[in-house]
Amino acid sequence: MLLSSLFVAGAFLASSSASPVTNPLIVHEKRSNIPHGWVKRYSVDGGAILPMRIALTQSNLDQAHEWLMEVSSPDSLGYGKHWSADKIANAFAPSEEHVHAVKTWLLSAGITTERIAKSRSMGWLTFDATIDEAEKLLDTKYHVYEHEETGQPHIACEEYKIPASLKDKIDFVYPSVHFDVKLKIRQESDSQLENRKFGPGHWQPWNPKNPGGGSLPKWNHWWLPHSSIIKDLQNCDQQITPWCLRYLYKFGPGNSKNPKNSYGIVEYTPQAYVPSDLDLFFKNFSTKQVGARPTLQSIDGGYSQQSQMSFNYNGESDLDLEYAMSLVYPQSVTLYQVGDNTEGASFNDFLDALDSSYCAGDDPTQDAAYPDPYCPTQSQDCYKGPKDCGGFAATKVISTSYAYNEHDLTPAYEQRQCNEYMKLGLMGVSVLYSSGDYGVAGNGGQCIDGAGPDAPYINGTLGGRFNPSFPGTCPYITSVGATQIKPGTNIVTSRTQPEQACETVIYSGGGFSNVFSLPSYQANAVQTWFREHPPPYGSDKFNNSQKTRGFPDISANGANYVVAVDGNFTLVYGTSASSPTLGSILTLINEARYNAGKSSIGFINPVAYAHPEAFNDITEGGNQGCNTPGFSAATGWDPVTGLGTPNFPRLRDVFLRM
């Protein structure tokens, strides 16, 4: 945060700052150490002006679950009556009473009401204050910190206080203990990338806490000769193509393009699709689409970089777009490309672009800062523009094939993000996330050594506690697991369920949250599973209280996908494939509902759990990890494949009846 201007303090001298003894100041946020690479330089001139921002806590979050169920539950009269963005902003805006209490406190420090602006989205109060005023208000001391490598200055304090009575009315005050700047990212070799992997969020040197590490799709490291692209449905156990998916889940090619319908795929730079790969794929599997491209929504400078190319840069985006675009055609696909090529971005950065009221609360230690503080100059790789805050429309289905370990992030950070998915559900958006590729282990096969939020990771080959994925464990998204066709099965002649839980290259992420409680829509399914298929593990392995959220919800095939990457075809594996496939099927259901004059399906879990008959129950295979066989697929919902794979005509008819 740079000083906006300097002037003499006299004009704004605080009249009084004494707080009543009955309302003592208490520490609200504290930083125990200065982030690596920064040094404390000097105290700041008392007359310097700080643009202050106070994030107010949202109202009515305790009612949010009921409101979402009202528009999403099959037995609700309000089903499908989704909320407008304005109605949502008003419902969760801080109460007038809280705003008044905070303003009264500010006035006691001489900050008069005329000086205070309320943000358009009502989430925070802003005002300019001198350093003297801010220090008195927050009982703190500001210093200029300097980044050793770049010399970039930053104003921050080490802790600050607010009146005890405002503790539950204020989320945080800014600028304060936060360092909204990231360390410069190194270019890395492909083999370093292979080892480290990456996901959403800024790039970090490999360490077990690397968010999203390992959430990319997997491949076998060999290329298929072009001539071996088998189009025959009899060989779907060896190679999955769009035709295999249509046959398995009983849906045909799309045949309409309702203007209300939309489907979004989210990618985080440096992940990027290659235009010629789309065409190579379309030439073989969807000839009418040769030349077709997704509609780009560039967030925080996001673009499809082509300077670094390999499976690890292109595999995810090529996979997601080739399948999503061909399965929903002639409906089009929106690509939300998030973050520049230097800093990348996090899920919060994406959500900020959809909802301006969410922007104020980013966590600088997890979320990317824009304008990118490490750009020497604006270039295509480096985005110096302002952070995108609101203004981007949400598509009706949004599929993301990246994930963190739930253990990577704090419960407060996750709860806040999960509430934002709840709001998207209220607006009628279906949010899908892949459930992870390491079974009951986390990204990269890591498990947790002991209980509690500070327990370290341990290589899963050595055991450890199960390591669930986030946002998979947020009860307001649909978590998508992976299946495969049983080896040797001909799906055309098979008289029994041809699929099982995926056990080729990857294992379907699944298990139980350590953070989120069991949502009402899922309670029956989870408790039935515990009763009828009691797992052979105790509370040393996972939270077996039957009171926490289980995942995934639904699954779709995630093995042997034929994907064009960097000019050749290869086979790809992962829940990264399952999520865009389920998203395509939901988009076709939205198409049918719009064509029938109905609203979008929105948050689907309450309907899905009430209609298990709309899914192909998957009862074989498991999701090994943490040196255990993991959980086993079973009759009914299970923490490997969820409710099973979609039966399109049944699921469509269920939704068309509502």
- Residues belonging to the binding site for Ca(2+) are 617-618, 636, 638
Distance of CA 290 to the CA centre of its chain: 31
Q: Which residue, 165 or 546, is less far from ligand NAG as judged by CB?
A: 546
Q: CA 281, 287, 290, 295: dihedral to nearest 10 degrees?
A: -80
Q: Residues near 214 by Cβ (< 8 Å), separated by ≥ 6?
A: 197, 199, 437, 438, 442, 443, 444, 445
- As a whole number of angstroms, the distance between CA 504 and CA 487 comes to 10
Q: Distance between CA atoms of 180 and 338, rounded to whole angstroms?
A: 18
Distance CA 137, CA 417 (A): 29
> Do the beta carbons of residue 266 and residue 350 sit within 8 Å?
yes
With CA atoms as reference, report the closest residue to 327 among 620, 621, 588, 549: 588
Q: Which stretch binds ligand NAG (CB under 6 A): 160-168, 279-287, 402-410, 621-629?
A: 279-287
Q: Binding site: residue ranges?
A: 617-618, 636, 638
- Under the criterion CB under 6 A, does residue 539 sit at the interface with ligand NAG? yes
Cα–Cα distance list, 472 to 324, 327, 351 (Å) = 20, 24, 16
Site string for ligand NAG, 486-515 (x = CB under 6 A): ----------------------------x-
User: Closest residue (Cβ) to ligand NAG?
Assistant: 567
**CB of 213 vs ligand NAG, minimal distance in Å:** 9
CB closer to ligand NAG out of 317 and 548: 548
The residue among 543 and 576 lying less far from ligand NAG, judged by its C-beta, is: 543
Stretch 440-469: interaction string toward ligand NAG, x if CB under 6 A: ----xx-----x-------x-x--------
- Cβ atoms < 10 Å from Cβ of 586: 27
**Dihedral (C-alpha) 606, 611, 617, 618: value to the nearest 10 degrees?**
-10
Binders of ligand NAG among residues 227 to 266 (CB under 6 A) are: 229
Q: What is the dihedral of CA 222, 225, 231, 232, to 10 degrees?
A: -80
Of the residues 29, 267, 320, 499, only one is catalytic, namely 320
Residue 526 touches ligand NAG, criterion: CB under 6 A: no
First to last CA, the chain: 51
Q: Is 320 a catalytic residue?
A: yes
| 225 touches ligand NAG by CB under 6 A | yes
Contact of 594 with 619, CB cutoff 8 Å: no
Report the distance separating Cα 485 and Cα 86, nearest Å.
45
Is 248 exposed, middle or buried, given 0-12, 13-18 or 19+ CB atoms closer than 10 A?
buried
CB 239 within 8 A of CB 562: yes
d(CA 649, CA 651): 6
Sole binder of ligand NAG in the list 346, 357, 543, 584 (CB under 6 A): 543
Query: Which residues, other chains included, contact 269 with Cβ-Cβ below 8 Å and sequence gap of 6+?
Result: 301, 302, 303, 304, 305, 337, 338, 339, 340, 341, 344, 345
Q: How far is the CB of 648 from ligand NAG (least distance, A)?
A: 26
Q: How far apart are CA 412 and CA 414, in angstroms?
A: 5
For residue 251, what are its two tokens? Answer: 């849906």
User: Does position 517 bind ligand NAG by CB under 6 A?
Assistant: yes
Tallying the residues shown for the chain, one arrives at 658
Provide the minimum distance between the beta carbon of 463 and ligand NAG in the complex, in angstroms, as a whole number: 11
Q: Which helix (DSSP H) or strand (DSSP E) does residue 91 occupy?
A: helix 85-92
- Which span (125-133, 319-327, 537-545, 625-633) binds ligand NAG, by CB under 6 A? 537-545
Interacting residues of 23 by C-beta distance below 8 A, sequence separation 6+:
163, 164, 165
| Choice between 269 and 548, CB closer to ligand NAG | 548
Nearer to ligand NAG, 100 or 547 (CB): 547
Looking only at residues 318 through 377 of this chain, which bind ligand NAG when binding is defined by CB under 6 A? none
CB of 112 to ligand NAG, least distance (A): 45
Question: With CB under 6 A as the contact rule, which of the stretches 58-66, 234-242, 426-434, 541-549 interacts with ligand NAG?
Answer: 541-549
Q: Is residue 547 within the footprint of ligand NAG (CB under 6 A)?
A: yes
User: Closest CB to ligand NAG among 104 and 517?
Assistant: 517
Distance of CA 623 to the CA centre of its chain: 22
The residue (of 221 and 531) whose beta carbon lies closer to ligand NAG is 221
Residue 25 vs 309, nearer CB to ligand NAG: 309
In the complex, what is the shortest distance from the CB of residue 560 to ligand NAG, in angstroms, rounded to a whole number?
A: 17
Is residue 439 a contact partner of residue 630, using CB atoms and an 8 Å limit? Answer: yes
316 is catalytic: yes
Does 192 help bind ligand NAG (rule: CB under 6 A)?
no
Closest CA to 250 of 654, 528, 646: 646
What's at 385, amino acid-wise?
A: G
Q: What is the largest CA-CA distance in the chain?
A: 86
d(CA 283, CA 277): 10
Taking the C-alpha atoms of residue 202 and residue 494, their distance in angstroms, rounded to an integer, is 46
Minimum Å gap between C-beta 479 and ligand NAG is 18
Q: How far apart are CA 526 and CA 637, in angstroms?
A: 7
CB nearer to ligand NAG: pick between 154 and 218: 218
Residue span 282-321 as binding mask against ligand NAG, x where in contact by CB under 6 A, dash where not: -xx-------------------------------------
For ligand NAG, the closer CB: 301 or 464: 464
The nearest distance, CB 547 to ligand NAG, in angstroms, is 4
By CB under 6 A, tell whether 16 contacts ligand NAG: no
Q: Which of 316, 318, 355, 367 is catalytic?
A: 316
Q: 120 or 231, CB closer to ligand NAG?
A: 231
Which segment (5-13, 251-259, 276-284, 346-354) binds ligand NAG by CB under 6 A?
276-284
Among the candidate windows 40-48, 91-99, 218-226, 616-624, which touches ligand NAG by CB under 6 A?
218-226
The span from the CA of 569 to the CA of 285, in Å, is: 12
Q: Which of 14, 118, 223, 486 binds ligand NAG (CB under 6 A)?
A: 223
Point out which span in 235-243, 277-285, 365-373, 585-593 binds ligand NAG (CB under 6 A).
277-285
At 268 the three-state DSSP class reads: strand
Question: Please, what is the minimum distance in Å from the beta carbon of residue 282 to ligand NAG?
Answer: 9
**What x-and-dash track marks residues 566-605 binding ligand NAG by CB under 6 A?**
-xx-------------------------------------
Instruction: Give the active site residue among 121, 298, 576, 584.
Output: 576
Residues found near ligand NAG in the complex (CB under 6 A)? 223, 225-226, 229, 280, 283-284, 444-445, 451, 459, 461, 514, 517, 539, 543, 545, 547-548, 567-568
Active site residues: 316, 320, 576
